[in-house]
């Protein structure tokens, strides 16, 4: 399949670059530092709580900074994936080979996701392993911890695919690198301030008691939908309940399935719009 050739070339080019190895080193230091800090500073607490609870706490302590880091790295690596080659003229050369425009977009997504996933997963395994070892041997052998850690690693792959798809889609939609940067930054900033916007709207409209329908706007951003689905999925693996926006809402739409649909739309829609725009573009 032609898109595999595009993905392989993208991945091989990245491995030869200094950025890839710098990314791997930063990922490794960050994961090991976070996991080691948690294990070192909470080892006494771990002795007074079940091993599974200490281990799951480690996973969620690592999750927040790592997911934020992945979001920024995805924007940096992917925002010029299509538009950058279009500006340099190399896109015409790529399309002169037996590749369709859909092959180029899919290959870019897979290739750049691999560039991020390889150092991310390797580093997280090291970070979680070090943190668990510092917490005590019982954590490393805890079935709940191992299940949640494995589930978290799978979720990180989904998270990487989510943001790579979004930013490659943005790159295919725009016609200049500056617009791609602006679009990527705008999305990241909007996600960070979305909860503040929701709170202000709630205050201005005097929505006392947080009506059930607020679940949708609270979960509409990709990071919020991911966290909702992650918490629900990992809660199913253990007896330790994890917080979620759904809370005590009885509405049928306040469920992990809604978050999963939102997540899927964020993966598919930017790529679909980008492909439509790219397909009709005059190169």
Per-residue pLDDT tens over the stretch 228-276: 888 888 777 766 555 555 555 666 777 888 889 999 999 999 999 998 9
Q: What is the DSSP letter of 212?
A: G
Note the pTM of the prediction, 2 decimals. Answer: 0.90
Quickly count: other Cβ atoms within 10 Å of residue 167's Cβ.
29
Predicted local confidence at residue 24, as pLDDT: 84
pLDDT band with cut points at 50, 70 and 90 for residue 163:
very high
Q: Which domain holds residue 140?
A: 2-279
Q: How far apart are CA 74 and CA 89, in angstroms?
A: 23
Q: pLDDT: is 67 or 242 the higher one?
A: 67
- Domains of the chain: total: 1
Q: How far apart are CA 179 and CA 176, in angstroms?
A: 5
Give the contacts of 234 (CB within 8 A, at least 6 positions apart): 56, 59, 148, 151, 152, 155, 242
Q: How far apart are CA 35 and CA 16, in angstroms?
A: 29
Integer CA distances (angstroms), 264 to 158, 159, 267, in order: 10, 11, 5
Predicted local confidence at residue 154, as pLDDT: 92
Give the contacts of 34 (CB within 8 A, at least 6 positions apart): 61, 62, 65, 66, 127, 131
Cβ–Cβ under 8 Å, residues 136 and 43 = yes
Mean pLDDT of 5-16: 82
Mean pLDDT of 54-78: 87
Per-residue pLDDT tens over the stretch 50-60: 666 777 888 88
The burial class, CB within 10 Å (0-12 / 13-18 / 19+), for 174 is buried
When mean pLDDT is compared over 9-23, 34-48, 172-186, the highest value belongs to 172-186
pLDDT of residue 282 exceeding 70: no
Output the six-digit token pair for 30: 């960050």
What is the share, in percent, of the chain residues with pLDDT greater than 90?
A: 26
Predicted local confidence at residue 220, as pLDDT: 92
Per-residue pLDDT tens over the stretch 164-223: 999 999 999 988 889 999 999 999 999 999 988 888 888 887 766 667 778 888 889 999
Output the six-digit token pair for 157: 């792959």
pLDDT of residue 85 exceeding 90: no
């Amino acid at each position: 399949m032609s898109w595999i050739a595009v993905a392989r070339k993208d991945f091989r080019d990245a491995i030869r670059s200094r950025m890839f190895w710098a990314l791997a080193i930063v990922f490794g230091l960050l994961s090991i530092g976070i996991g080691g800090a948690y294990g070192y500073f909470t080892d006494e607490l771990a002795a007074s709580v079940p091993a599974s609870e200490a281990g799951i706490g480690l996973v969620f302590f690592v999750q927040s900074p790592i997911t934020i880091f992945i979001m920024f790295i995805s924007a940096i690596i992917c925002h010029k994936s299509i538009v950058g080659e279009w500006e340099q003229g190399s896109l015409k050369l790529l399309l002169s080979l037996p590749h369709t425009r859909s092959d180029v977009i899919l290959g870019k997504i897979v290739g750049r996701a691999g560039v991020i996933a390889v150092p991310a997963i390797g580093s997280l395994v090291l970070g979680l392993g070090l943190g668990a070892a510092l917490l005590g041997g019982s954590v490393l052998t805890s079935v709940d911890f191992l299940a949640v850690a494995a589930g978290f690693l799978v979720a990180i792959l989904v998270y990487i695919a989510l943001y790579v798809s979004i930013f490659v889609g943005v790159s295919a939609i725009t016609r200049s690198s500056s617009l791609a940067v602006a679009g990527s930054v705008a999305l990241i900033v909007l996600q960070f301030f979305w909860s503040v916007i929701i709170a202000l709207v709630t205050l201005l409209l005097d929505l006392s008691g947080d009506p059930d329908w607020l679940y949708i706007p609270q979960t509409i951003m990709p990071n919020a939908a991911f966290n909702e689905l992650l918490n629900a999925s990992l809660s199913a693996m253990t007896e330790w309940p994890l917080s979620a926006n759904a809370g005590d809402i009885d509405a049928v739409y306040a469920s992990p399935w809604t978050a999963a649909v939102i997540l899927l739309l964020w993966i598919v829609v930017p790529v679909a719009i980008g492909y439509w725009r790219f397909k009709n573009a005059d190169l």
